[in-house]
Amino acid sequence: MNETASLPIQPVDSVEILTLMDNYVDVLLTNTDVVTRPPLSTSGIIPSDTLLAEHGLSLLVTVYKRNETHTVLWDAGYTNMGVMHNVAMLGVDLGRVEAMALSHGHMDHTGSLYPVLDSIPHKIPLVVHPGVFDGPRFFGLADGRRLLFPQTLVKEDLVKQNIDLMERTTPTPLAEETVLVTGEVERVTSFEKGLPNASMERNGKTVSDPIADDQALVVHLKGKGLVIIAGCSHAGIINTILYARKITGIREVYGVVGGFHLSGPFFEKIIEETIAEFQKLGPRVLSPMHCTGWKAIHQISRAFPEAFILNSVGSVIRLQAATGVPA
């Protein structure tokens, strides 16, 4: 049942999520009804080169609606060469990308941004939260030291690219309203408290960094519900889902993929609470990626044996609308 929608989001017949970069690659994984793995060889000879994994995320999201096809690129991995290497290995044509969005401003989601933009022959909108330009940003260590995040996004440089820079804190529809960027996510759960050791400089002072620029993508799969595509979920993956439901007015959650940020001692404490909330929401597809962490991925796989998908670089997750649902 739908609530009164705050924003229009057009239902789609199917969505494909191709992983251009993630923390994990396994060339021996096999296909299922939902996920297709890249072939080990296409010529009868096992290649001497292979897909690369790194601590980063980049997803190519393609939606199909009747005779329309729309492709949006979500994030750009860590290094300035990893995503483009995998694009070449997979034979991906970035010329079909009509829009791009960044989940937040950390380097493991922006590293290949400039090479990617250089490879897209036409002007595209790039949606970012204005907080991606905040900084300097730091990551605190247990011994009191601070590690400086590299400033990979400089607005003065970015505006020189062939893009329409869209700085938004509020939800932004893309691709003829078939893909929605959430904008800044409301934080309402009691257990998702962000990255506790993140800080930044503001007006000459060091302050806590809430990573307010964290956002996600949302697709409405016709007759089945929402598909939420997260980046790092610094706002909390459950907060992200709840906000997606609020801004679309659609309660059903069919799939959740992306980084859930449940890795490390602080976040491992909330794995069970997160799983309990997932059980209430009842997604039919769950594919934790990137910063979710091995312990959380393992526990999610045990709690949701039918819904769980082990992701790997080069995998394509294909989700189909319900049959017999009116257009």
Q: Domain ranges in the chain?
A: 11-320
Quick one: pLDDT at residue 40? 87
Joined tokens for residue 95? 């010329």
Q: Is residue 326's pLDDT more than 80?
A: no
**CATH topology for 11-320?**
Metallo-beta-lactamase; Chain A (3.60.15)
Q: What is the pLDDT of residues 43-80, one digit of tens each?
A: 889 888 999 999 999 999 999 999 999 999 999 999 99
Identify the weakest region by mean pLDDT among 33-42, 219-228, 294-303, 311-320: 33-42
Please report which helix (H) or strand (E) contains residue 258, including its range.
strand 253-259
Joined tokens for residue 273? 């609470």
pTM comes to: 0.95
Confidence of residue 6 (pLDDT cuts 50, 70, 90): low
Confidence of residue 41 (pLDDT cuts 50, 70, 90): confident
Altogether, the residues listed in the chain come to a count of: 327
Chain mean pLDDT for the chain: 95
Of 178, 282, 189, 186, the closest CA to residue 243 belongs to 186
Judged by DSSP in three states, 122 sits in: coil
For residue 190, count CB atoms less than 10 angstroms from its CB and return exposed for 0-12, middle for 13-18, buried for 19 or more: exposed
Confidence of residue 96 (pLDDT cuts 50, 70, 90): very high
User: Percent of the chain beyond pLDDT 70?
Assistant: 97
Confidence of residue 1 (pLDDT cuts 50, 70, 90): very low
Q: Is residue 327's pLDDT more than 70?
A: no
Quick one: pLDDT at residue 5? 47
Quick one: pLDDT at residue 140? 85
User: Percent of the chain beyond pLDDT 90?
Assistant: 87
Residue 253 near residue 281, CB atoms below 8 Å: yes
For residue 14, count CB atoms less than 10 angstroms from its CB and return exposed for 0-12, middle for 13-18, buried for 19 or more: middle
Residue 34 near residue 317, CB atoms below 8 Å: yes
Q: What is the pLDDT of residues 206-216, one digit of tens each?
A: 999 999 999 99
